[in-house]
Structure 1
Amino acid sequence: MESTSYWLVFFTTVFVINISPGPDVIYIVSRTISQGRKVGIASSFGIWSGALVHVAAAALGLSAVLAASATAFGIVKYMGAAYLIYLGVRSLISEGETFDMHQDTGEKTTLWKAFRQGMLVDILNPKVAIFFMAFLPQFIRPELGHYSAQIAVLGFLVILVAVPIEFFFVVTASRTTSFFRKNRCCSLWLERASGSILVALGIRLALTENTNA
């Protein structure tokens, strides 16, 4: 019974955290709105891969460095903010080209770039590292030992819960805006909207304070 209560609390908390419109969800949705479902899914895989890097860092204790060092936190934060703003500006100055799912050669490059960009966005967000470091230890069970292994497993479960939730957001955003993406004029404005969101996320990250340092 105690084990059941433990997992119920853990998964309920993780579910609530994942359905909240945080920076990762906003980023994925903005990419989906501007370039379609496949790019949104590729971006999601990038975000999840970046989160796995943070989970590994938390398990190894590396996240503590970001939490304790204002300099390290600032370097990663401003790199992430600059990258988000860079992606946003590129969308703002784009020609609003319609996402063509029938262009095989372009599609592979686009999906790979979307994956890499999503991964970098997540890796370069120090708040994600600190979240895992602060959240996961609360669910460690001392009687089991192997703290690093427990953090790794719990972190993986957090990401696993995020997969269907963020996939739902991608599909919903894609279906909602698919008609507009087929129209070049509307596609241009969708790119502008996506770019504005990314720039706003970058500014928000740049203004983030490290309350743990």
Structure 2
Amino acid sequence: MVPFNELIGFMLAAFLLVLTPGPNMLYLISRSITQGKKAGIISLTGIVFGFLFHIVLVSFGITALLFAVPFAYLILKILGVAYLLYLAFQAIKPNGKNMFEVNDKLTIDKPSKLFGIGFLTSVLNPKIAMFYLSFFPQFIKPEHGSIMTQSLQLGITQATISFTVNFVIVLTASRMAVFFATKPTWLKVQKWVMAGVLTSMAIKIAFSKAK
């Protein structure tokens, strides 16, 4: 199992990363604003099940890779740094889309379709697999026990944090959309703060020692 002090660090990182805009968050906000909170919660449930799908696959993948390839950690660390820097750039890139500027002409979908689209949005999102593959190994150490067990522990922790944060977003999406529409400066501040946090995380991982 991952030690509690290291797990706290991972939880903080997972919390910061879930705040970065992506297809899942955009879909949740769109549905919450256009179809209501209930639709947003159903969509979120589908997304979380998509997380679980990735967690199982990546847990087996990380286990096999770290045992089969001695320098796999270095490769994954490089991918992790590149991924975090990519997210930082996406946060502040010119002409970036405001995640609260959603399409208000979406059709009204049934609960089963909301769940299905949420699930597929999560499963087919390559950014999720990239996050698990490149970021999880930074917190996994063979001396702490089974690599697969640690991977599952981190995955469940990340999914729980993601669900909690996105649940709050679903409940407050309409109010946040109005807030950022009337106070665009705060949206810019949020983007630059997020970019700074992601960049600092990338630097920390880049200089971390191999296991």
TM range, normalised to the smaller chain? 0.5 to 0.7
- Give the TM-score, by structure 1 length: 0.58
Please list every run of 5 or more consecutive structure 2 residues that lacks an aligned counterpart in the other structure.
Answer: 66-74, 76-101, 178-211
Structure 2 CA distance for aligned equivalents of residues 26 and 5 of structure 1: 32
Q: Tell me how far 1:145 sits from its aligned partner.
A: 2.5
Residues 51 and 63 (structure 1 numbering): CA distance in 2 closer, same or farther, change over 3 Å? farther
Structure-2 residue corresponding to 1:39: 39
Structure-2 residue corresponding to 1:156: 156
Structure 1 CA distance for aligned equivalents of residues 104 and 4 of structure 2: 52
Task: Give per-residue Cα distances to partners, 1:52-98, cap 9 Å, x unaligned.
Answer: 11111101118999x9xxxxxxxxxxxxxxxxxxxxxxx9796x77x
Q: Which amino acid aligns with 1:31?
A: R
Stretch moving more, 125-134 or 152-161: 125-134
Structure 1 CA distance for aligned equivalents of residues 156 and 129 of structure 2: 14
Q: Tell me how far 1:149 sits from its aligned partner.
A: 1.6
Please list every run of 5 or more consecutive structure 1 residues that lacks an aligned counterpart in the other structure.
Answer: 68-90, 100-108, 178-213
Q: Runs ≥4 in structure 1, deviation > 3 angstroms? A: 2-5, 62-65, 91-94, 174-177
Task: Give per-residue Cα distances to partners, 1:9-60, cap 9 Å, x unaligned.
Answer: 1111111111222332122111111111111001111111101111111011
Task: Give per-residue Cα distances to partners, 1:111-130, cap 9 Å, x unaligned.
Answer: 12101110011111122112
Structure 1 CA distance for aligned equivalents of residues 37 and 103 of structure 2: 20
Q: Tell me how far 1:141 sits from its aligned partner.
A: 2.2
Q: Is the 8 A contact 1:63 1:130 kept in 2?
A: no
Q: Tell me how far 1:5 sits from its aligned partner.
A: 3.2
Structure-2 residue corresponding to 1:5: 5
Structure 2 CA distance for aligned equivalents of residues 129 and 117 of structure 1: 18
Structure 2 CA distance for aligned equivalents of residues 20 and 92 of structure 1: 20
- Give the TM-score, by structure 2 length: 0.58
Give the total of aligned pairs: 142
Task: Give per-residue Cα distances to partners, 1:163-210, cap 9 Å, x unaligned.
Answer: 221111001025668xxxxxxxxxxxxxxxxxxxxxxxxxxxxxxxxx
Q: Which amino acid aligns with 1:167?
A: F
Structure-1 residue corresponding to 2:48: 48
Q: Which amino acid aligns with 2:17?
A: I
Q: Which amino acid aligns with 1:52?
A: L
